[in-house]
Amino acid sequence: MEKAAEPADWMKTMAPEDTRAIARKLTAEERAEWPYHWRRQARESQRAPEGDWQTWLVMAGRGFGKTRAGAEWVLETAEADPFARIALVGASLGEVRAVMVEGESGILACSPPWRAPDYQPSLRTVHFPNGAQAFLYSAAESESLRGPQHSHAWCDEVAKWSNSHERASRSWDNLLLGLRLGKDQRIMATTTPRSVPLLRRLLDAERTHGLVLTGGATRDNAANLPTKFLAAMDAEFGNSALGLQELDGLLLEEIEGALWSRALLEQRRGACAEDDLRRVVVGVDPPASAHGDECGIVVCGQDETGSGIVLADCSIGPASPEQWARAAAEAASAWNADRVVAEANQGGQMVGSVLRAADVSLPLKLVHARRGKAARAEPVAALYEAGRVRHAGMFAKLEDQLCGLMAGGGYEGPGRSPDRADALVWALTELMLGKAKRPRVRAV
């Protein structure tokens, strides 16, 4: 027997005059409830799946509406079960508060004012009018989930949880061990996909333990997103493999034998204050010809602890020599770089001449490659493995190239050549692998 359509589905196909006719028949109380009727507004992919499941994973692109779906699921769960004890878990306590509870699509914003829960930030609790309760936790404090018992949980951005010392997995395990209240324990997890151990573990559970997976793309929610946001996302991630992850909600597979992995890069993200930088270098990998190939231009810094930070990818292409030289000079000026390191294998002194023509005062150092790009990259990849380099942002095209450089030589990433990755290698080599002069003791 075919399932009957929900009111939210068939009402979307009604003519405006028919919708207005129904609205006129509503009571004052029903009209007040109308803007908060989630089933009327939600897309099918935002509604909880039917059937017997323990974990519902919503893995979708940015702006899909994951937070709204999570908040509404918590409200429906609390309303249906006055004995519900719901864990709200995020990457940090600040994010649980600012996004899951107080955010524009959070629990408080989605609640009708006359049924709003009592939120007590100092106690990390949310009390619903019927007696249901929710409790706030940080996945960075995995031990805080050891002991408390819950009947339900909403875990937000699980792929963003800290992987240091396996905190993400330990937080998830402690949550599961405490999920023993009530008769129908359930977890909703919402996240943008990232290649991290916990998310891969959950996806394995889809095949072995019946986890329900809902996927989706950013543009699924285009009707509710600003045009400028969509344009910015396309500009940042369009035509990149990382765009499949950030916009289309697809988990990227690793290339076996690559020097960098997506999981490693995700672990190496971190903020950086410009005041903390003691050096800034711009790496430049000029195009091999003057016919408009891409020029790699990457800005890297070094902080007071000696760690390297990738600050910006200013690569340009297709571009003439004058255009890429001007872009390199502008990057150096914008970041107040103390050196520009440019490979001169292809153009020799012409590279220096073009760069100096763009800015005669440019602090320029020309270098000559004696090994292939992948071989030059191996010592820099080792710095990442040692935790000595981090990315102050997400650099889609650059990271695609890094993940295509193969150990032992070769390139399996996008494009003909990893120009952006090579520019990064030149900059970090100058900052962190240069030969330091040491004082020597001479015999008298």
- Mean pLDDT lowest among 14-23, 235-244, 399-408: 14-23
Instruction: Inform me whether the pLDDT recorded for 22 exceeds 90.
Output: no
Q: Which amino acid is at 82?
A: P
Q: What are the C-alpha distances in Å from 353 to residues 192, 375, 398?
A: 45, 28, 27
Task: Quickly state the pLDDT bin for 345 (edges 50, 70, 90).
Answer: confident
Confidence of residue 435 (pLDDT cuts 50, 70, 90): low
- CATH level 2 (architecture), domain 42-227: 3-Layer(aba) Sandwich (3.40)
What letter does residue 226 receive in the DSSP assignment?
-
Q: What is the mean pLDDT of residues 27-56?
A: 84
Do residues 88 and 136 lie in contact, with contact meaning Cβ atoms separated by under 8 Å?
A: yes
Cβ partners under 8 Å of residue 380, min gap 6: 389, 424, 425, 428, 429, 432, 433
Max CA distance (Å), the chain: 104
Return the sign of the alpha-carbon dihedral for residues 66, 69, 73, 75: positive
**pLDDT surpassing 90 at residue 182:** yes
pTM score: 0.74
User: How large a percentage of the chain has pLDDT more than 90?
Assistant: 60
User: Tell me, what's the pLDDT at 437?
Assistant: 46
For residue 9, name the pLDDT band (cuts at 50, 70, 90): low
Strands 152-156, 85-90: pairing is: parallel
> What is the domain partition of the chain in residue ranges?
42-227, 262-432
| Mean pLDDT lowest among 204-213, 225-234, 307-316, 333-342 | 204-213
Average pLDDT, the chain: 88
Q: Which tens digit of pLDDT belongs to each residue from 66-116?
A: 999 999 999 999 999 999 999 999 999 999 999 999 999 999 999 999 989
Distances 176 to 84, 149, 151, 161, 312 between C-alpha atoms, Å: 16, 9, 10, 16, 40
Q: Who wins on pLDDT, 341 or 40? A: 341
Report phi then psi at 419, rounded to 5.
Answer: -65, -40
Find out whether 188 and 153 touch, Cβ atoms under 8 Å. Answer: yes
- The alpha carbon of 407 is separated from its chain's Cα centroid by a whole number of angstroms, namely 26
pLDDT value of position 61 = 94
DSSP secondary structure of 17-55: HHHHHHHHTS-HHHHHHGGG-HHHH--GGGSPPPSS-SE
Is the pLDDT at 45 greater than 90? The verdict is yes
Structure tokens at 396: 């889609």
Least confident residue range of 31-45, 186-200, 390-404, 428-442: 428-442
Residue 362: pLDDT band with limits 50, 70, 90 = confident
Tell me the pLDDT band of 439, cut-offs 50, 70 and 90.
very low
CA 12, 13, 17, 20: dihedral to nearest 10 degrees?
A: -20
What are 123's two structure tokens? 């106690």
Distance CA 439, CA 389 (A): 27
Pick the CATH number of 262-432 from 3.40.640.10, 3.30.420.240, 3.10.310.30, 1.10.10.10: 3.30.420.240
**Could you tell me the two tokens for 82?**
């006055």
Residue 274 has pLDDT above 90, yes or no: no
The answer to whether 428 touches 300, Cβ cutoff 8 Å, is yes
Confidence class for position 1, pLDDT limits 50, 70, 90: very low
SS3 316: strand
Weakest mean pLDDT among 149-163, 219-233, 278-292, 322-336: 278-292
| 8-state DSSP, 442 | P
d(CA 337, CA 327) in angstroms, rounded, equals 13
Model confidence pLDDT, tens digit, residues 200-254 = 889 887 665 678 999 999 999 999 999 999 998 988 887 788 889 889 999 888 8
Do 290 and 321 contact (CB within 8 A), yes or no?
yes
